[in-house]
Amino acid sequence: MTDFIDHQISECGLLEVPLFYKGVEMAETQIEWTDATWNPVAGCSLVSAGCKHCYAMQMARRLEAMGVEKYKGLTQKRGKNIKWNGTVREDQAALQVPYKWKKSRKIFVNSMSDLFHEGVSNDFIMSVWKVMRETPQHNYQILTKRPGRMRDIVSKQIPEVLPNVWLGTSVENADVIDRINDLRETPASIRFISFEPLIDSVGAVSLRDIHWAIVGGESGNKARPIKEEWIDEIHTQCDIYDTAFFFKQWGAWGKDNQKRSKKANGREYRGRTWDEMPIIITSAAI
């Protein structure tokens, strides 16, 4: 492994570029809605259809091949496909990283895992919260596909709502819209939903008490199509509930339902780009 490696993989709509210098993971990303990534946990398991082409599975496999110990043994090969094997690894050393970043950043927490995976201990989650509490210059964006556990832990074990911690869940189709209720019941200063990869209609979902919605199509060779009417449904609800709307990308399938490169399809929706962000408040709202 060389001293300096950069590697990028685009799957499931997200573009993640981890950098390594002398084996230390740095925080660089091209994800449009954040500034940096922080990965105190590595490894995961599939829970719903949105996980099928998770970019992090492929990345973990390649990082293991590069000799990055943190990602060793997290995936398995099934035919031609790479899948998580359910192993989850807590990285105590990574807890120190945000303290070193003096400049304020929006930080996507666990782009390579899920903080609320059942394999992550309650004690470690509390350690992550301690870091976030002690680094108020940053805004932390935590995205989970397990909002039920997030709700239970945040409601019962965390005494205060931190204004710099944004809590979100992923919703890829109508089969998992119950996650929105779990999120709505979670104490948070900002609640957000990632409708990415949007692989089917979610219907007229209520975005009451949801501050931000990210929408995006899937990218990669095996990407599933996105349809404009599915985006319209979400955009309409954002208007109704005054929810900030961020359209991240069409992905591999364009507005015309033709498959081409993600770059060629671009980010325009209804003739413009949508980069709305939630209003950052100083007093926590429950």
178-224 per-position pLDDT tens digit: 999 999 999 999 999 999 999 999 999 999 999 999 999 999 999 99
Give the residue extent of every domain in the chain: 32-39+90-265
pLDDT of residue 279: 87
* CATH class of the domain whose range is 32-39+90-265: alpha beta
- Tens-level pLDDT at each residue, the chain (286 residues): 333 233 333 333 344 445 554 444 556 688 999 999 999 999 999 999 999 999 999 999 999 999 999 999 999 998 889 999 999 999 999 999 999 998 999 999 999 999 999 999 999 999 999 999 999 999 999 999 999 999 999 999 999 999 999 999 999 999 999 999 999 999 999 999 999 999 999 999 999 999 999 999 999 999 999 999 999 999 999 999 999 999 999 999 999 999 999 999 999 999 999 999 998 764 434 3
Q: Are 210 and 191 in contact (CB under 8 A)?
A: yes
Quote the tokens at residue 238. Answer: 């954002």
Distances (CA, A) of 114 to 21, 47, 56, 143, 279: 24, 11, 11, 7, 25
pTM value is 0.90
For residues 144-176, one letter each, b for 16 or more C-beta atoms within 10 angstroms of the residue's C-beta and e for the rest, the string is: bbbbbbbbebbeeeeeebbbbbbbbbbbbbeeb
pLDDT of residue 32: 92
Q: Report DSSP letters for 29-98, one per residue.
A: B--TT-SEEE-SEEB----SGGGTT-HHHHHHHHHHHTT-GGGTT-EEEETTEEEE-S--EE-TGGGGGG
Q: Is 238 left (phi over 0), alpha (psi -120 to 50) or beta?
A: alpha
